[in-house]
Chain A
Amino acid sequence: MRFLELLWFSAYAELKAESARSYLGFLWWLLEPAMFMAVFWVVFGLVLGNRDPDFIPFLLVGLTFWQWLKSCITHGSHAIWLNIPLMRQVRLPVLLFPLTAVLSDTVKFAFIFAVLLVILWSLGHPPGWAYLALPLVFAVELLLGCAGALIAAAVVPFVPDIRFVIENAMMALMFLSGVVFSLASLPEPYAAWMAFNPVVGIIESARDILMRGQWPDWLLLAKAGIGSLVVLAFAVVLIMRLAPRYPKLAV
C-alpha cells in the first residue's frame, strides 16, 4: 500500500520535474512523438511513395504503441543505475525505480493515445464495439513494458556499457515488429519466427481494433500475453536475486 503511494508520487514528481525543465513543459509529451511520427510519415509515406490510404493510420497506431513500449524499456534501463546513491542511504524496494519509469511513461502514453484517437476518428476510423478489447491490449503491453524495463534496469548497473546496445536493439525490434511496414508478406521461415515476438501480437491487435473496427485475433493476443507474463516472471526473479548487490556498486 505504502509502496503504491510512493510509486505514484515518484512518478508524479518525475513528470512534474521533467515538464519544468523546458519552456513548453508537458506539451513536449505530445510534440516529441508527433515529430517522431512526422519523420516516418515523410520518409515512408511521401518520399518512398506509399499510396495506400490506410498507411497513415497504420503507421500512427504502430508508432504510438511502439513508443510506449520503447520508452518504458530505455527509460527503465537507467532507473536503478541512476538511483544507486539513493539506495545507499535508505532501504528501498528496488522495484520502485523501474516501475516509476514505466508509470510515468504510461501517463505520457495516455495523452498521446487520446490524440491518436482524435486523429483516427477524423481520418474516418470511428470507434466501435471492438474498443471493449482495448484494455486487454493495454494490459498485455503494460506487462511486457514492465518486463522489459525490469530486465534492462537489472542489468545496466552491472554492465553500463549495455546502454549503447539497448538503443540499437530497440531499433531492430521495431523493424521486426511490423511497426513501420507490414510483416504479412514475410516469407518463411521468418514468418514463423515472428510468432514468438509478442510485440507483433500487441500492435496487430491494436490495429484490428482501432483501424479495421474488428475484434483482435484472440489467439495472437493470448500468445503475446502469455509470452509477456513469462518474461515478466523471469524479470522479477532476476531483479530480486540481484537486489542486494546494487548498494555495493560503485557509480
Chain B
Amino acid sequence: MAAPLLRLDHVGVAYQGVRRIGSSGYWAVEDVSLELHEGETLGLIGRNGAGKSTLLRVIAGILRPDRGRIVQARPLRIQMLALGLGFVAHLSGRDNAIMSGMLLGMARREIEQRLPAIREYAELGDFFEQPLNCYSSGMVLRLGFSVAMQAEPDVLLIDEVLGVGDAEFMEKSGGDLRRRMRSGMTCVLVSHQDGTIAELCSSAAWLESGRLVAQGPVAKVMADYHAAAPRG
C-alpha cells in the first residue's frame, strides 16, 4: 500500500473546563492513531461526544494536538466544508461570496472569476446584488454552499452536512458533493447515518470516548459498532 497522505500518531486534544478559576481540563480526544490515503473517503463514526468533531478540527489544522503528532506526506490544503463562512447580513451576496471565498483561502482574483458560476449555481438571480438580510434562509444556505464548493482543498472534511436547501436544491447540492467524493477526492466524513457512510466511504473509523476502537472496511467496523451496546 502507498504511503498515507496524512497520518495521526497518538494524537490527543485537551479542552479547558468551564470558565471558572481553578477548573481542570478534559481530553476530548485521548489517543488516536489513524491513516488517510489519497483518494480515500474515510467515515468517522461514534456516539455523541466521542470526539469526532474535535478530531476533524485537528486534521484541519484548526486545533493543534496537545500530544502526539500529525504527519503529512506533502504540504496539504485541508478544509472543513463550512457554509456561509464569515457571512455578514448587511453586505450583498456578491461581497459575501468574495469574503467567504477569501476566508477559504482563495485569492480575490480567483473568487471574482468564479462569481458568475456561484450566482448561477445558487439560483439567486438579481438577489445576488442585494444585502443578505433580505434573503430567505434557504437562499443564504444556497449561496453558502455554492461558495464552499468553489474551494478545492486536497482533503475535504465534512461534518454531517451533505446538502442544503429545499428538496430540489438538496438533491442538486448533495448529488454534486457525492460525485466529487467518488471522483477521487480525499475526504473525511462524520455522519450518524449508516446509509451515508456505507454509500460513500471506502473505510471507516470508530471513535469511542476519545479513543480509536477500530479502523477498517466499512461493513466490518459498522457491524462491530452496532454490536457494542451503548455505554453509560
Binding site for B on A (CB under 8 A): 2, 5-6, 9-10, 13, 16-17, 20-21, 86-92, 244, 247-250
B91 touches A86 (CB 8 A): no
Shortest B181–chain A CB gap in Å is 20
CB nearest neighbor in B for A6: B102
Q: Which A residues are CB-close (under 8 A) to B13?
A: 248
A10 touches B99 (CB 8 A): yes
CB nearest neighbor in B for A18: B90
A86 touches B63 (CB 8 A): no
A91 touches B60 (CB 8 A): yes
A250 touches B98 (CB 8 A): no
How far apart sit A247 and B61, CA to CA, in the bound complex (Å)?
Answer: 11
A17 touches B91 (CB 8 A): yes
Q: Which B residues are CB-close (under 8 A) to A88?
A: 57, 62
Name 17 interchain pairs, CB-CB below 8 A, sorted by A.
A2-B105, A5-B107, A6-B102, A9-B98, A13-B91, A16-B90, A16-B95, A20-B90, A20-B91, A86-B103, A88-B62, A89-B85, A90-B62, A92-B103, A244-B63, A244-B64, A248-B15
| Chain B residues touching A, majority SS | loop
Known: A88-B62, A90-B80. A2 touches B90 (CB 8 A): no
CB nearest neighbor in B for A14: B88
Interface string of B47-62 (1 = CB under 8 A from A): 0000000000100111
CB nearest neighbor in B for A5: B108
Q: Which A residues are CB-close (under 8 A) to B82?
A: 89-90
Q: Which A residues are CB-close (under 8 A) to B165?
A: none
CB nearest neighbor in B for A250: B19
A17 touches B90 (CB 8 A): yes
Top 9 A-B residue pairs of the complex, sorted by shortest distance between their CB atoms? A20-B90, A17-B90, A89-B82, A244-B64, A17-B88, A91-B61, A6-B102, A247-B62, A5-B108
How far apart sit A94 and B61, CA to CA, in the bound complex (Å)?
Answer: 13
How far apart sit A97 and B169, CA to CA, in the bound complex (Å)?
Answer: 34
How far apart sit A86 and B88, CA to CA, in the bound complex (Å)?
Answer: 12
Does B16 make an interface contact (CB < 8 A)? yes
Query: How many chain-B residues does the 8 Å CB contact rule pick out?
Result: 30
How far apart sit A86 and B19, CA to CA, in the bound complex (Å)?
Answer: 20
Does B68 make an interface contact (CB < 8 A)? no
Q: Which A residues are CB-close (under 8 A) to B104?
A: 90
A250 touches B18 (CB 8 A): yes
Shortest A29–chain B CB gap in Å is 16
> Which of A17, A87, A89, A244 has the most B CB atoms < 10 Å from its CB?
A89
B103 touches A6 (CB 8 A): yes
A91 touches B62 (CB 8 A): yes
CB nearest neighbor in A for B88: A17
How far apart sit A87 and B80, CA to CA, in the bound complex (Å)?
Answer: 12
CB nearest neighbor in A for B65: A244
How far apart sit A45 and B225, CA to CA, in the bound complex (Å)?
Answer: 77
Known: A2-B107, A248-B15. A87 touches B62 (CB 8 A): yes
How far apart sit A88 and B95, CA to CA, in the bound complex (Å)?
Answer: 22
How far apart sit A139 and B62, CA to CA, in the bound complex (Å)?
Answer: 33
How far apart sit A5 and B91, CA to CA, in the bound complex (Å)?
Answer: 18
Q: Which A residues are CB-close (under 8 A) to B95?
A: 13, 16
CB nearest neighbor in A for B132: A17
Q: Which B residues are CB-close (under 8 A) to A89?
A: 62, 80, 82, 85
A247 touches B91 (CB 8 A): no
Shortest A155–chain B CB gap in Å is 14
Does B86 make an interface contact (CB < 8 A)? yes
How far apart sit A17 and B131, CA to CA, in the bound complex (Å)?
Answer: 10
Does B203 make an interface contact (CB < 8 A)? no
Shortest B219–chain A CB gap in Å is 32
Q: A5-B107, A20-B131 are in contact. List 9 more A-B contacts (CB 8 A).
A: A9-B102, A13-B95, A13-B99, A17-B88, A86-B86, A86-B103, A91-B62, A92-B103, A248-B15
